[in-house]
Chain A
Amino acid sequence: MKRWNANLPALVLLFALLLVWQLGATGMDAAYILPSPTQILVRMWELREPLLTAHLPATLLCTGIGLAISVVLGLLLAVLMDASPVAEKMLYPLIVASQTIPTTALAPLFVLWFGYTIWSKVLVTVLITFFPIAITVFDGFRSVKTDMMDMLQTFGAGQREIFLKLKLPAALPYFFSAIKMAIPLSIIGAAIGEWLGAQAGLGYFSRRMMTQLDGAGVFAPIVLLSAVAMLAVAAVSWIEKRVITWRGSL
């Protein structure tokens, strides 16, 4: 009941916005550019077969591989930068600079490099998502209080023990935040990649519907994408709540 109350204002606003959209779209009567929410739902139902059996799995595969690579790469960079000040000085500016490159503009090149294979999409996903993971987890290592490190040192702990017993657990909440940021980004990354060149996937499907001037068909995969992203973030939050019982008390 409490949860319901907490979410009520957001739900009311959402409903109001959808209502305005519905009325506006019905008034405009141009479904090929602005379909109404109900038209989109109907279209999603009609397209459920290709959406759910072919295109959603393709996008999820790309997102999953990209995210996995990003987690490994991001953690590796964070650990490296934490372990060595030289590595930090070398890598940190480059990592930040890499984010100023408009990935979407480069993505067509990736299609030239890797063709219509999954790897051009995975590369876009990795480029977009490794950054928040590396930087956030690195911040997590940095968040450790020096007096806690000092205390461990007086116990006789070396760098390795300080990392395992203090920094790693302290950075865990940051890791979860990073993953929650990276999930929506990874789906966006995959969709961008698919838009630019693919044979399957929700981004590709959305683009195909565009060429057919099927407005509701363009929206259907997008709605599905954001629903999947929300579900994934909710799932991570659920795990987080069970793993991290101490958030805020450090």
Chain B
Amino acid sequence: MLEFQKVVFQYDSEDFNIINGLSFQIEKGEFVSVIGPSGCGKSTIFRLVGQLLTRKAGEILVGGERIDGRRGYCGYMPQRDLLFPWRTVRDNLCLPMEVRGDVSRAEMDRRAEETLAHVGLSGWGDKRPDELSGGMRQRAAFARTLLTGSELLLLDEPFSALDFLTRITMQEWLLGQWENDHKTVLFITHDVEEAIFLSGRVLVVEETPICRLASFEVPAPYPRTRACLTEPRMLALRERLIGMLRREAAV
């Protein structure tokens, strides 16, 4: 679904390639997390996929085709919900469809309403974003991401700003969503436990500049519950990943 082929990228303000010949691949329907300490370049990978940054060399393919010149092939969900405060929740959900401009107003409203129900926000369409709780806002933001209609979802630490209880509730909720519609998800986080709980595979940024991502299969079948986190194999993986991150942070 997503493939990096020897991608090179350098920020203008830096004199080295922060991403240096990176290759990796994510299959359709996979849930993959990318973990690494803050500032390691995780988000740069996302911004390259979304063409918010232009790579120096290499190829990025989504669905087998080069991304250059294409639009709307991925749904991006940022850390903050970024709901527009002057729009109702429903109109916020319509935003990606408005930008694409390929469906009628009535159809937009219908799809928005349907997706609101899908994320458990039926009846909240007419509210303003500031009338929603933090968790509800993130669900609305996720619904907006779904309505881009893309098969590939890029979730950039979407729950990091939430309080602990809301965060674990949202993790379970997201897992349920994914187990239902099996979109391809690339999920950035710095929370090892979150990565293990959600993903089938975890990619670790071991070093900056990023030349490769270490890949770890998560040894637990879906559907999952939080109880799987206490299994010895999961605990071992967790400790191993934490060890890797700690080593890198120390460097």
Contact = CB atoms under 8 A, between A and B. Distances in A.
Interface stretch (B13-21, B71-79, B225-233): B71-79
A165 B98 CA distance: 9
B105 to A, nearest CB: 15
Nearest to B70: A156
A145 B83 CA distance: 12
B85 A250 contact: yes
A154 interface: yes
A244 B86 CA distance: 8
A147 interface: yes
A155 B78 contact: no
A181 interface: no
Given A153-B52, A157-B99, A169 B84 contact: yes
A153 B98 CA distance: 13
Contacts of B72: 154-156
B130 A249 contact: yes
Given A148-B82, A166-B84, A154 B128 contact: no
Interface residues of A, number: 22
Interface in A122-177: 145, 147-148, 150-157, 161, 165-166, 169-170, 172
Interface string B37-63: 000000000010011100000000000
A131 B137 CA distance: 38
A155 B128 contact: no
A156 B78 contact: no
A4 interface: no
A202 to B, nearest CB: 38
A100 interface: no
Interface string B92-131: 0001101110000000000000000000000000001110
B148 interface: yes
A177 to B, nearest CB: 16
A238 interface: no
B80 interface: yes
Contacts of B100: 155-156
B85 A246 contact: yes
B98 A246 contact: no
Nearest to B100: A156
Contact of A246 (B71, B82, B86): B86
A155 B99 contact: yes
Contacts of A169: 84, 86
A211 interface: no
A150 B129 CA distance: 20
A45 to B, nearest CB: 46
A151 B130 contact: no
Nearest to B97: A155
Interface of B: 47, 50-52, 71-72, 74-76, 78, 80, 82, 84-86, 95-96, 98-100, 128-130, 148
21 contacts: A147-B80, A148-B82, A151-B76, A151-B78, A152-B95, A154-B74, A154-B75, A154-B148, A155-B95, A155-B100, A156-B71, A156-B100, A165-B95, A165-B98, A165-B99, A166-B84, A169-B86, A170-B86, A245-B86, A246-B85, A249-B130
